[in-house]
């Protein structure tokens, strides 16, 4: 067997060894290996199956808002550890680690912005921060955002992605946020405020059981998991098989729980139309 080509650095073998890393990613939806640049071009959406990958809050804001229109509010709020909670690791330690990793102080960002020239108050969950879960500060920031929208007479738009639901590390302090955010939305609605709720994968638990489900208009990204308890937990509890696609955004649309499924690349244009129809004077 002639191995001279390998010894002399045959380009066929060298090319394989020198393939740059980070060019390809595996899609969590279809399992295929896809070219990363194509995913990025499509707003972090798989070109094969249209699976919508998680995106950070700053990218979400860039995709939705008019350029340079977003101004963050309540940025100084951050969680403490009221219960001295310890699971595998202390809650306080986990908070410090995720703050350092993400550069965020909490799992949602609130601010004033414009979409298509219409002034709004926007909130966005960030899945990098403890799965976007709702602790006492997340609930407080959402409530303050709703109150700010009521004060300024602007629509309130919130993009949910709370895979962690209500944050167990804060116990009842977290669960109280379900009632607090819902009450704030009731006051907002009583004064004619418009709330557009956008559900992304996954929007679960206490967030979905409170503010995220209360939109005047409820949109969802394709194939998002939307519900309270996860399908595996429900199946184990009721001891029976669940309908096909149970808790997907498509299932929820079919059963009247959401108003429309919108691809991420079309979400800004869809919001512009909704705000144009319902807030014609800005």
* pLDDT tens digits, one per residue of 129-173: 999 999 999 999 999 999 999 999 999 999 998 877 899 999 999
Weakest-pLDDT range from 31-40, 65-74, 231-240, 249-258: 231-240
CA 58, 61, 62, 66 torsion-angle sign = negative
Q: 182 CB contacts (<8 Å, ≥6 apart)? A: 210, 211, 214
pLDDT greater than 60 at residue 6: no
| Span 185-202, average pLDDT | 97
Pair 39, 117 in one domain: no
pLDDT greater than 60 at residue 34: yes
Write out the residue range of the structural domain in which residue 81 sits.
Answer: 55-278
pLDDT greater than 50 at residue 56: yes
Give the separation between CA 181 and CA 188, rounded to whole angstroms. 10
Give the separation between CA 202 and CA 240, rounded to whole angstroms. 23
Pair 19, 117 in one domain: no
Give the separation between CA 120 and CA 153, rounded to whole angstroms. 9
Pair 189, 115 in one domain: yes
Number of domains in the chain: 2
φ, ψ at 272 (rounded to 5°): -60, -40
Pair 88, 139 in one domain: yes
Give the separation between CA 106 and CA 34, rounded to whole angstroms. 32
Pair 63, 48 in one domain: no
Q: 94 CB contacts (<8 Å, ≥6 apart)? A: 130, 169
| Span 171-190, average pLDDT | 97
Pair 77, 20 in one domain: no
Q: What is the mean pLDDT of the chain?
A: 89
Pair 117, 228 in one domain: yes
pLDDT of amino acid 234: 81
pLDDT greater than 70 at residue 83: yes
Pair 125, 241 in one domain: yes
pLDDT of amino acid 12: 44
Last residue of a domain, one of 38, 53, 68: 53
Pair 61, 49 in one domain: no
Give the separation between CA 73 and CA 252, rounded to whole angstroms. 32
Pair 200, 211 in one domain: yes
Pair 61, 120 in one domain: yes
Strand (E) or helix (H) holding 238:
helix 231-238
Query: Residue 141 in 3-state DSSP?
Result: helix
Pair 65, 49 in one domain: no
What CATH number is attached to the domain comprising 110? 3.90.226.10
- 160 forms beta bridges with 199
pLDDT of amino acid 44: 87
Q: Which two tokens stand for residue 107?
A: 């799992």
Strand (E) or helix (H) holding 23:
none
Distances in whole angstroms, Cα of residue 271 to Cα of each of 24, 267, 274: 32, 6, 5
Instruction: Report DSSP letters for 171-201, one per residue.
Output: THHHHHHHHHHHHHHHHHHHTT--EEEEE-S
Last residue of a domain, one of 53, 68, 88: 53
């Amino acid at each position: 067997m002639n191995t001279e080509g390998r010894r002399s650095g045959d380009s066929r073998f060298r090319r394989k060894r020198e393939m740059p890393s980070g060019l390809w990613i595996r899609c969590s939806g279809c399992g295929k290996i896809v070219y990363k640049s194509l995913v990025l071009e499509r707003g972090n959406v798989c070109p094969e199956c249209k699976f919508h990958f998680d995106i950070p809050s700053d990218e979400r804001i860039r995709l939705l808002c008019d350029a340079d229109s977003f101004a963050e509010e309540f940025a100084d709020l951050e969680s403490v550890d009221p219960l001295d909670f310890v699971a595998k690791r202390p809650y306080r330690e986990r908070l410090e680690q995720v703050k350092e990793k993400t550069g965020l102080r909490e799992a949602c960002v609130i601010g004033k912005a414009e979409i298509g020239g219409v002034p709004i108050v926007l909130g966005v969950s960030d899945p990098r921060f403890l799965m976007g879960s709702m602790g006492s500060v997340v609930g407080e920031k959402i409530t303050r955002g709703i109150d700010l929208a009521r004060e300024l007479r602007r629509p309130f738009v919130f993009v949910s992605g709370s895979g962690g639901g209500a944050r167990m590390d804060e116990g009842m302090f977290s669960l109280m946020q379900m009632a607090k955010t819902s009450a704030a939305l009731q006051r907002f609605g009583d004064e004619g405020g418009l709330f557009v709720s956008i559900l992304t994968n996954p929007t679960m638990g206490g967030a979905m059981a409170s503010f995220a489900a209360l939109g005047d208009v409820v949109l969802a990204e394709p194939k998002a998991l939307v519900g309270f308890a996860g399908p595996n937990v429900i199946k184990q509890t009721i001891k029976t098989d669940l309908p096909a696609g149970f808790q997907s955004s498509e299932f929820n649309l079919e059963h009247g729980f959401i108003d429309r499924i919108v691809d991420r690349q079309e979400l800004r244009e869809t919001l512009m139309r909704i705000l144009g129809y319902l807030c014609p004077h800005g």
